[in-house]
Structure 1
């Protein structure tokens, strides 16, 4: 049974469609609190000081203890919050994206907000649309560069990848080779300029801060890619969650996890986690909705969340263990919406 150092406290926030589990451990035992029940959860991010969760019908919520949540920004933010990101440079700085697509920034942990209006006047904006609701669209992901506090990446679902080099005041619209249906983005503190994209129209990587993109696809048999995470100890080891299409990922439930090691166009993907027996391994295939993946805080550590439960690997996906948290029965048929692992 995997255990951390008893002196280290950690919290895992696992957001499902209709509730958030905050799971704490500082002595090898897990204590789980369920919050935001009966809300329609869209997104989640966290730092050691606090966590933020976006809902579709009641805006943004914040917790400082994992047990009680309060709405923040009710007078400034729309009700439909679809993306949230806590800055890696300053945990008080919080970014929010909404439906329809708008972008907001708070310098004080959600007390005050400022809109960044340049996002809505870009040339591609007239072409943005979300297929299930074609008259609208939303910010699906916000990624803040860990080595440059002014560089911001935004994924619009669906229609564009956007890159800002001045903190969101101006944008590069649809840089060369970028995907149109970006679901999740990732960066790495040891790889300046490296950006990873999980998109409905395939996987992509950039090595120049998002201004040009490559598409390493070899071995990736399922190319509707939903989530991406990068090994904390190796920017060339990448995991993605993928399916054959949106219906398989979100409704039917037939999704897979792949790993790529090595950089460049020629690096091949390999499917992992297909063996699952009596709680060992990672369930994939039929009955599994698309995973949300998160990098841990140690080399080789990844976390994965789906309707099948919460899982952790310490060896970059060679072996997995289900984390023994209290798991509501209704989550068995729910989609995962966000995952964050933080510690003190």
Structure 2
């Protein structure tokens, strides 16, 4: 599993970190089998394969907030940015902005509480389906690897902080400013799964690679902005119908456990980045 800071990429083997890449402005990554794609704050992408880093000139210029590796050979990557656009990068060609995403009528309602530009905060995929979490503006979905887009049924809280797919056809999770929602029909309908969570302001969500009912979610008392909001990590083995707080050995967190800061590795081991601890 790759572990990223703002300027380094590591692997962790037998408890020892090994640096794989050093570069400024790391915003996001998606790990594949033979290569991984890393999005940077200047809009560029770096492909990491066989310990070799290959910069890809995208021609974007906006920060890449999230990335989805659709294909390794040939290389095909979706990029989500701030302002909210989705780009497709094919091999060495410049990234192409997806016109169907830009043409969504609901774009006019997207916003941020502080008045800045909205963003595509996270991307998730399952087969040909791709889901884009808009902050703030619910979730958009594509059934054809990003070629065409439409909104999901807006039965969930619009302030979505991360979307994640699961190893089950149609299953989708979203962690929002009002806790976790789950869909079993690719976002056609949603159920609110909040019972048992001490706080409801959600940020990150991660799903076990083989068990669609096993997931992690982080919650807190609010967005933070320098305050002690008491970030907490919960796990569920029944798709969020019940939740258990992670306590044994888990550190106290004053701030939020943020988007992308929890994950499962390929073996199903759960990881969390809490302030300066992993």
Match of 2:197 in 1: 220
In the TM superposition, residue 284 of structure 1 has moved relative to its aligned partner by 3.0
In the TM superposition, residue 116 of structure 1 has moved relative to its aligned partner by 0.9
Match of 1:129 in 2: 111
Residues 302 and 270 (structure 1), Cα distance of their counterparts in 2 relative to 1, 3 Å cut: same
1:188 aligns with 2:170: no
Aligned length, in residue pairs: 277
Residues 89 and 143 (structure 1), Cα distance of their counterparts in 2 relative to 1, 3 Å cut: farther
Q: Tell which has more relative contact order, 1 or 2 (C-alpha 8 A, sep 6+).
A: 1
8 Å contact from structure 1 (residues 180, 201) kept in 2: no
Match of 1:309 in 2: 277
State the distance in 2 between where 1:204 and 1:90 align: 34
Alpha-carbon RMSD across the aligned residues, in angstroms, is 2.6
Q: Which runs of 5+ in 1 are unaligned?
A: 1-11, 276-280, 311-344
State the distance in 2 between where 1:58 and 1:235 align: 33
The SS at the match of 1:309 is coil
1:229 aligns with 2:229: no
1:71 aligns with 2:55: yes
Residues 288 and 188 (structure 1), Cα distance of their counterparts in 2 relative to 1, 3 Å cut: closer
In the TM superposition, residue 29 of structure 1 has moved relative to its aligned partner by 6.2
Q: Normalising by the residue count of structure 1, what TM-score does the alignment of the two structures yield?
A: 0.72
The SS at the match of 2:39 is strand
Match for 2:221 among 239, 244, 259? Answer: 244
Match of 1:155 in 2: 133
The SS at the match of 1:125 is helix
State the distance in 2 between where 1:96 and 1:40 align: 15
1:269-280 pair list within 5 angstroms: 269-272=243-246, 274-275=247-248
1:263-302 pair list within 5 angstroms: 263=239, 267-272=241-246, 274-275=247-248, 281-286=249-254, 289-290=257-258, 292-298=261-267, 300-302=268-270
State the distance in 2 between where 1:224 and 1:56 align: 26
In the TM superposition, residue 262 of structure 1 has moved relative to its aligned partner by 1.5
State the distance in 2 between where 1:60 and 1:138 align: 18
State the distance in 2 between where 1:71 and 1:119 align: 26
Match for 1:105 among 85, 88, 92? Answer: 88
State the distance in 2 between where 1:80 and 1:126 align: 21
Q: Deviations over 1:94-145 (max 9, x none)?
A: 110111111111233x54432211112212211212334x241111111111
1:50 aligns with 2:26: no
1:19 aligns with 2:1: no
In the TM superposition, residue 154 of structure 1 has moved relative to its aligned partner by 0.7
The SS at the match of 1:246 is coil
Residues 54 and 200 (structure 1), Cα distance of their counterparts in 2 relative to 1, 3 Å cut: farther
State the distance in 1 between where 2:113 and 2:179 align: 17
Residues 289 and 240 (structure 1), Cα distance of their counterparts in 2 relative to 1, 3 Å cut: closer
Match of 1:139 in 2: 120
Structure number with larger C-alpha Rg: 1
Match for 2:19 among 9, 14, 33? Answer: 33
8 Å contact from structure 1 (residues 102, 117) kept in 2: no
Match of 1:323 in 2: none
In the TM superposition, residue 89 of structure 1 has moved relative to its aligned partner by 8.3
Q: Which runs of 5+ in 2 are unaligned?
A: none
Residues 201 and 56 (structure 1), Cα distance of their counterparts in 2 relative to 1, 3 Å cut: farther
Moved more, 286-295 or 97-106: 286-295
Match of 1:332 in 2: none
